Structure 1
Amino acid sequence: MSYDEKLTDNIRELIADTGRKVEEKKMFGGLCFMVDDKMCVGVNTGRIMLRLDPALNETVLEEEGCTPMVHGGRMMKGYVYVSESVLTTRKRLAYWINLALAFNLIAQPAKKKKK
């Protein structure tokens, strides 16, 4: 599992500043930040993954360094990757993290699998 530790620490600080419940889980070959028991931000090598309002999908995909998340051959609406190469300032990183945190407030948690 590899990801940029400095980028991860910056994300950790931005999310911690919210005072919300945060849990870190290793998944998708990187580290995922669960906020209030919902997937919010993931860190992988060279990029971050964000869960955003699906209504913003088309708008954010026009931004430099932003690409759709594709899983099983289909685009996952509301999930995007942002290249680490465009996250060069704390302000730029905060912009993306804040989009994910804003949606997290209204996002539905994943359905729990029955054992």
Structure 2
Amino acid sequence: MAYDEGLAEVMRDDLAQLEGLKEVRMFGGICFMHHGHMLCGVHKDGALYRVGKERHSMALDLAGVHEMTMTGRSMGGLVDVEINAMAEDALRERLLEMSLEFTASLPPK
């Protein structure tokens, strides 16, 4: 697979206490779905978190976090995290918190 399995394990550990979690192969990596909504994932160059448009600029202020782009287009509400930045527990915790807040605001699937 085209992603870092060690990074996927780190993310699995971060998500271990969540119920309603499912792994789905997507974006050349793995996305983690929480109650049917995409929450976060890993890809070949790092990770992504779905923080929502309201928290997007706040997330971009964090070190190692960038705008998520696919095929040259910005993916509003998603942020890309450098693989080296994923070593920071506090960063992962903050991004996961933002992502959980956003997905909790979505209608149930």
Give the drift of 1:48: 0.5
Q: Distance in 1 between matches of 2:91 and 2:78?
A: 18
Q: TM-score, normalised by structure 1?
A: 0.81
Equivalent residue runs for 1:86-101 within 5 Å? 86-101=85-100
Larger Rg: 1
Cα distance in 1 for residues equivalent to 2:43 and 2:74:
18
Task: Name the CA distance, whole Å, in 1 between partners of 2:41 and 2:10.
Answer: 13
1:13 to 2:2 alignment: no
Instruction: Using the TM superposition, name which of 84-93 and 22-31 deviates more.
Output: 84-93
Please give the residue correspondences for 1:21-32 in structure 2 after superposition, counting only pairs within 5 Å: 21-32=20-31
1:83 aligns with 2:96: no
Supply the distance in 2 between the matched residues of 1:47 and 1:15 (Cα, whole angstroms). 17
Aligned to 1:55: 54
CA contact 1:51–1:78 (8 Å) conserved in 2 = yes
Q: Runs of 4 or more off by more than 6 Å in structure 1?
A: none
Deviation at 1:8, TM superposition (A): 1.1
Query: CA offsets per residue over residues 42-100 of structure 1, 9 Å max, x none?
Result: 10123101111211112221222111112354322101101111122333322222221
Letter in 2 for 1:79: L
Gap runs ≥5 in structure 1: 111-115
Show structure 2 runs of 5+ residues with no match. none
Query: Against the structure 1 CA distance between its residues 3 and 72, is the aligned structure 2 distance closer, same or farther, given a 3 Å change threshold?
Result: closer
Identity between Structure 1 and Structure 2 (%): 28
Q: Is 2:2 the counterpart of 1:2?
A: yes
SS of 2:105 mapped into structure 1: coil
How many residues are matched? Answer: 109
